[in-house]
Structure 1
Amino acid sequence: MTWAQTLVLGAVQGLTEFLPISSSGHLRIVSEVWFGDDAGASFTAVTQLGTEAAVLLYFFRDIVSIVVAWFRGLFDASRRDLDYRIGWYVIFATIPIGILGIVFKDVIRTGARNLWVIATMLIVFALVIAVAERVGAKQRPLEQLTLRDGLVMGAAQCLSLIPGVSRSGATSSAGLFLGLQREAAVRFSFLLAIPAVLASGLFSLPDAFTPSGEGLQASGVQLLVATVVAFVLGYASIAWLLRFVSAHSLNWFVGYRIAVGVLVLGLLAGGVINAT
């Protein structure tokens, strides 16, 4: 991997991780279209540590409140407030993706990165987001979040194992289907992603530093730089998205997803780029 590729892919990761457009799908598309090769699932997972560091910093007070409330609530039932419940919701909702991520590790790193799959998922899930925006009541605030909501959004998060779906798109859409306010669904989506992405990134570190020889190979320094770039742009992306969804529909991303998906399908059909 060249330094130009490192900087471009780090920027793509930071800009797209929190938008409902699939960062893993965009990394795969950009690395193929611009560089004629795949950056790899391990590179994607490791650079996601940068964007998750941005989440930890942006939601630092919320995370501390949840962790403190969770420990207090374990020993004092009278202090089991919303933060305590959210702590449990995140724990239980993370279990499905943890199991499936381990079981389907090889498929995620190989067949699921096929550009035919990614382009199709960009289009299909754009329609899911559009339907969620249309039928979702968007009336329930975060204070009304339940364990059932958390589990449903946790199950939806499993779909993000398929590049092209989008973690935030899947979980936020599930929240809208459940009647949550748009900002509440997106905020819980960010919190829900923290343990899954951190675990995935740390789990992928050995593979990233000892690549198999296929695709683009980044050095340790390049991985670090790409992760820092992803952190900086990821932080800005979080702040922008939370302001955006407070006043705008997720449908703004639907048209973009469909356009990119159709473009990639056209490039594949014309033999301009390779699917694998």
Structure 2
Amino acid sequence: MEIVQIIALALLQGLTEFLPISSSAHLILLPIIAGWEDQGLAFDVAVHVGTLTAVIFYFRATIRQLIFDWIRSLQQRQTVGESKLAWAVIIGTIPVGLAGLFLDDFIELFLRSPLVIAATTILFGLLLGWADWKGKRNRQEEQMGWKDIFIIGFSQALALIPGTSRSGITMTAALMLGLTREAAARFSFLLSIPVIFLAGGLETVKLIKADQATDWFALTAGAVFSAISAYICIFLFLKLLERIGMWPFVIYRLVLGGFLLFLFS
């Protein structure tokens, strides 16, 4: 891989993983538009490691508390501190984990086309805008009930369709359920940790089976650049979200979807 390709794809992964605009769509489209060869599974694993590192480091204090309270809840067999939020992250991951296990091959074969990405980019962009407009935005993530958690968890499974956006669809569901923008984003980011870990693990298994040659420079650089850009993205997104809302991302999705329809239809 050329250094320009490494940096561009790594920065793109880091920026789009946590914004409601679909990282998978951008990673599929950029090589097509730029005329690059596919970056390969090893590089995908590396940039996933980068974004996972960034979100864990950013929420390190929260994660420590969630793990501590979760263990105490198991010992005491009752809710302790933030243990309900920890259970929410675990339960919210189950639907996408099962869907990814059973539908991964189907998605790879039939749903990675530019026209599918265009359609989902527009459709779920409009849904995000509607949720941001109509949502009551009066609850925090700690106030979610089990029904809310299941709804957000099942919505996350839709993100396996390229162009949907994992962060976008979980924030959309959370906003519809009355969470504030910042609470929706925080819960979405916490949900991303096991999902990125599972996705990276699945790609690692594929990589081992493929027995491909390894470009360690590309992998290291990809992980570093994706981690840096992801951390900056999380920081700025949470800082500015209440001020700017979701509509800049909705407009971007509509423009991108329209451009793809024009380009590939």
Q: Cα distance, 1:46 vs. partner?
A: 4.3
- Preserved CA contact (<8 Å) 2:22 2:163: yes
Q: Please name the residue that 2:158 is paired with.
A: 159
Paired with 2:189 and 2:148, the residues of 1 have a C-alpha distance of 15
- Preserved CA contact (<8 Å) 1:46 1:208: no
Q: Please name the residue that 1:262 is paired with.
A: 258
Q: Please name the residue that 1:174 is paired with.
A: 173
- Preserved CA contact (<8 Å) 1:136 1:179: yes
Paired with 1:40 and 1:261, the residues of 2 have a C-alpha distance of 25
Cα deviation 1:174-228 (Å, max 9, x = unaligned):
0000011111111000001111111110221243466599xxx973431232121
CA 1:119/1:78 → structure 2, altered by over 3 Å: closer, same or farther?
closer
Paired with 1:121 and 1:79, the residues of 2 have a C-alpha distance of 38
Structure 1 unmatched runs, 5+: 270-276
- Preserved CA contact (<8 Å) 1:27 1:44: no
Paired with 2:198 and 2:224, the residues of 1 have a C-alpha distance of 18
Paired with 2:134 and 2:214, the residues of 1 have a C-alpha distance of 44
Q: Please name the residue that 1:8 is paired with.
A: 8
Q: Cα distance, 1:91 vs. partner?
A: 1.0
RMSD: 2.0
The letter of the residue matching 2:244 is: H
Paired residues, what number? 265
CA 1:129/1:168 → structure 2, altered by over 3 Å: closer, same or farther?
same
Paired with 2:101 and 2:77, the residues of 1 have a C-alpha distance of 35
Q: Please name the residue that 2:248 is paired with.
A: 252
Q: Cα distance, 1:103 vs. partner?
A: 0.4
Paired with 1:115 and 1:218, the residues of 2 have a C-alpha distance of 29
Q: Please name the residue that 1:114 is paired with.
A: 113
Structure 2 unmatched runs, 5+: none
Q: Cα distance, 1:267 vs. partner?
A: 1.3
Structure 1 stretches of at least 4 aligned residues deviating more than 6 Å after TM superposition:
none
The letter of the residue matching 2:105 is: D
Q: Please name the residue that 1:196 is paired with.
A: 195
CA 1:222/1:142 → structure 2, altered by over 3 Å: closer, same or farther?
same
**Normalising to structure 2: TM-score of the pair?**
0.93
The letter of the residue matching 1:190 is: F
Paired with 1:42 and 1:23, the residues of 2 have a C-alpha distance of 17
The reply to whether residue 29 of structure 1 matches residue 29 of structure 2 is yes
The letter of the residue matching 1:58 is: Y
Q: Please name the residue that 1:238 is paired with.
A: 234
Q: Please name the residue that 1:48 is paired with.
A: 48
Q: Please name the residue that 1:223 is paired with.
A: 219
Q: Cα distance, 1:69 vs. partner?
A: 0.4
Paired with 1:24 and 1:42, the residues of 2 have a C-alpha distance of 15
- Preserved CA contact (<8 Å) 2:132 2:246: yes
Give the % identical residues.
36
Paired with 1:100 and 1:26, the residues of 2 have a C-alpha distance of 22
Q: Cα distance, 1:142 vs. partner?
A: 2.3
Instruction: Pick which of 239-248 and 253-262 moved more.
Output: 239-248
